[in-house]
Structure 1
Amino acid sequence: MEAAHHDVIGVDPHKSSLTAAALETDETTSATRRFALNKGTGPAVLAWAARFEDVLFAVEGAQGLGRGISQFLLSQGHDVLDVPSTLSMKARVLHAGGGRKTDAADARAVGWVAQHHEGLRSVATEDHAEILDLLTRQRDGLQGERTRALNRLHDLFRDLIPGGVPRGLTLTRGRAALRGLRPATAIGQTRRDLARDLIGEVARLEKLTDDYERRIAEELQASGTSLMGLQCISTIMAGKILGEVGDVRRFRSAGHFASYTGAAPLDTSSGDNLRQRLNPGGNRRLNSVLHVMAVCQIQHGGLGRDYYLKKLAEGKTPRKARRALKRRLSNVIYRKILKDLSTGASANS
């Protein structure tokens, strides 16, 4: 979207307030205003912005603190650009000639970025991707709570049973171990009661996890994705991918997508020395999905294993060969999501 032909309103959001700055096409600031966040914030921003013509909104962190105002502006028919905080910070330093930071300065910096940066993503109305992101994160949180509960249960069984219980404790094994316990002391009885409560907690968490997995599967079916057709992509993994990616069209190429997932290596060449190193950045949830997918394909055979063995034959170490496979799988996922998008668009036309 070309921002240079619009008056731009940069928005710097916070937990309890947001600051808006209106910039004309020559970068001069027409007005700034701070708004307290409440039910009337959205209408108040639009009423204040009504004095400006052909306005384009730019919000810092439209997927984070700026989500609420961004979605409201979209619902009212306005175009909204998502400005990363790293870009607005650099713009503020360059324009102001220093590091002085105020909410008004941040809002102006957001507007400056929107006026000059051509690669900004247009905010889209929340859809299946946002629902999947919420559901998969909640499911992962429940899994973490279950693991912590089982670890505490292990500690109790260690004191209740000589030698404790074997690794791989599950709800069924925990119930079986608890069934034969008859502690003779008050301390032992207290530990047994705590263990019984933890087993009930694990049962509750597992039921909730199953419910969320069912909802994720239903949402994936409604989205029309075909990601589960790829080898070693489970329902949960597909939900994480779509939830994190959102609108895949925001990535200009497979290389841009691979950089976002952390699967593309970083170039560290200098002079005649050509080197690349592991990218420690990128989206770690997506990188984890790629890792699990790569390890699964290596173990179970197929095209992924063939590619891995080819890289080993070329002299790469197992770790580097696995990284190369992750990079290739990133391309496969990118093309698959794009194909699903084009197929869905064709079906709806």
Structure 2
Amino acid sequence: MAGDETIVGGGRFDTGRDGYMAMRKYAKQWPNRVWAIEGCQGIGRHIANRLLADGEQVVDVPPKLSARARVFATGQGRKTDATDAHSIALVGTRMAGLRAVVNEEQLALLRILVDRRRSLGDDHTRMVSQLHQLLLELIPGGAKKSLSAAQAKALLATIRPRDAVGKARRRVAAELIADLERIYRAPRKPTRN
């Protein structure tokens, strides 16, 4: 659709590789094109990401806006592929301020790393707390709160419980120390693109 809302072309393309390539080839006749895709955070994400990866400009058309445009353009809200495409193109042409879709790979990468770091931090806090509780139960008077894994290991080596509960506490404490040591010596490799 041109800026004056004149329909300049159209077609049906399947979602497979061949359909996508045919659509891209067809669209090359408009060198200054912007793709208006409905729901780029949902059902439209797949095609939007493919277009972005190929260097195309994409704007996200919220489904509510395209539904309103469909009602205004047709006088009713019935959905067909043709009316959907037309209403999405109308919104893409008429509406200023639509969100430009960007490659969010870097954001996704950072989110994955932050989630992993948070998870390790939560695990660390939980393990240290559990270890401290076990040491309180194994050692009269307990142990200081801020022990390194090496200090906790040395302290645990001095404890020889005789009852089954004490032995279980010592075994679990040793496992927690081993888990903490594993976290502490995990290699920190920088990520490369």
TM-score (norm 2): 0.62
Tell me, which stretches of 5 or more residues in structure 1 are unaligned?
Answer: 7-24, 36-40, 223-349
Aligned partner of 1:199 in structure 2 is 177
The answer for the alignment partner of 2:22 in structure 1 is 47
- Per-residue deviation, 1:211: 0.6
Matches within 5 A, 1:245-256: none
- Equivalent in the alignment of 1:288: none
Structure 1 residue 168: Cα displacement: 3.3
Q: Which residue of 2 aligns with 1:317?
A: none
Q: Secondary structure at the match of 1:123?
A: coil
Contact 1:80-1:122 within 8 A present in 2 as well: yes
**Cα gap change, 1:67/1:168 in structure 2, threshold over 3 Å: closer, same or farther?**
farther
- SS of match in other structure, 1:167: coil
Q: Does residue 91 of structure 1 match 2:69?
A: no
When residues 163 and 114 of structure 1 are mapped into structure 2, their CA distance, relative to the original with a 3 A threshold, is farther
Structure-2 change in CA distance of 1:163 and 1:75 (3 Å): same
Q: In the alignment, is the contact (CA less than 8 A) between 1:114 and 1:120 conserved in 2?
A: no
Alpha-carbon offset, residue 167 of structure 1: 3.0
Q: Which residue of 1 is the match for residue 74 of structure 2?
A: none
Letter matched to residue 141 of structure 1 = S
| Residue in structure 1 matched with residue 188 of structure 2 by the alignment | 211
Give the Å deviation of 1:166. 3.4
Give, in whole Å, the separation in 2 of the partners of 1:65 and 1:196: 49
Judge conservation of contact 1:157–1:164 (CA < 8 Å) in 2. yes
**1:58 and 1:110 in contact (8 A); partners too:** yes
Q: Tell me: CA distance 1:164–1:132, structure 2 relative to 1, closer, same or farther (3 Å).
A: same
Q: Distance in 1 between matches of 2:52 and 2:156?
A: 55
Shift of 1:110: 6.3
Q: Which has the larger radius of gyration?
A: 2
Q: Indicate if the aligned counterparts of 2:53 and 2:103 stay in contact, CA closer than 8 A.
A: no
Does residue 121 (structure 1) correspond to residue 96 (structure 2)? The answer is: no
Which residue of structure 1 aligns with residue 128 of structure 2? 150
CA RMSD of aligned residues (A): 4.3
| In 1: Cα distance, 2:96 partner to 2:138 partner | 64
**Contact 1:146/1:202 (CA < 8 Å) preserved in 2?**
yes
* Alignment equivalent of 1:141, drawn from 113, 116, 119: 119
Find the counterpart in structure 1 of residue 165 from structure 2.
187
Q: CA deviation at 1:117?
A: 3.2
The answer to whether the Cα contact below 8 Å between 1:149 and 1:198 also exists between their aligned partners in 2 is yes
Sequence identity percentage: 23
Quote the Cα distance in structure 2 between the aligned partners of 1:183 and 1:145: 27
CA distance 1:33–1:194, shift in 2 (3 Å): farther
Question: Retained in 1: the 8 A contact 2:35–2:57?
Answer: yes
Alpha carbons of 1:66 and 1:90: their partners in 2 closer, same or farther (altered >3 Å)?
closer
Which structure 2 residues correspond to residues 201-240 of structure 1 after superposition, within 5 A? 201-208=179-186, 211-212=188-189, 215=190
CA distance in 1, matches of 2:44, 2:143: 49
Deviation at residue 207 of structure 1 after TM alignment = 2.7
Higher relative contact order (CA 8 A, sep 6+): 2
Counterpart Cα distance in 2 of 1:46 and 1:142: 43
AA at the equivalent of 1:123: V
Equivalent residue pairs, number: 178
Q: Which has the higher strand share?
A: 1
Structure 2 residue aligned with 1:57, among 35, 40, 54? 35
> Which position in structure 2 is the counterpart of 1:159?
137
Unaligned 5+ runs, structure 2: 72-76
**Do the aligned partners of residues 184 and 171 (structure 1) sit closer, same or farther apart at CA in structure 2, a change above 3 Å counting?**
same
Following the alignment from structure 1 to structure 2, what is the Cα–Cα distance between the partners of residues 167 and 56?
60
**Distance between the aligned counterparts of 2:139 and 2:90, measured in 1?**
66
Paired letter, 1:45: Y
Contact 2:92 2:98 in 1 (8 A): no
Indicate the residue corresponding to 1:73 in structure 2. Answer: 51
Aligned in 2, Cα 1:89/1:207: closer, same or farther, shift over 3 Å?
Answer: farther
Partner amino acid, structure 1, of 2:118: D
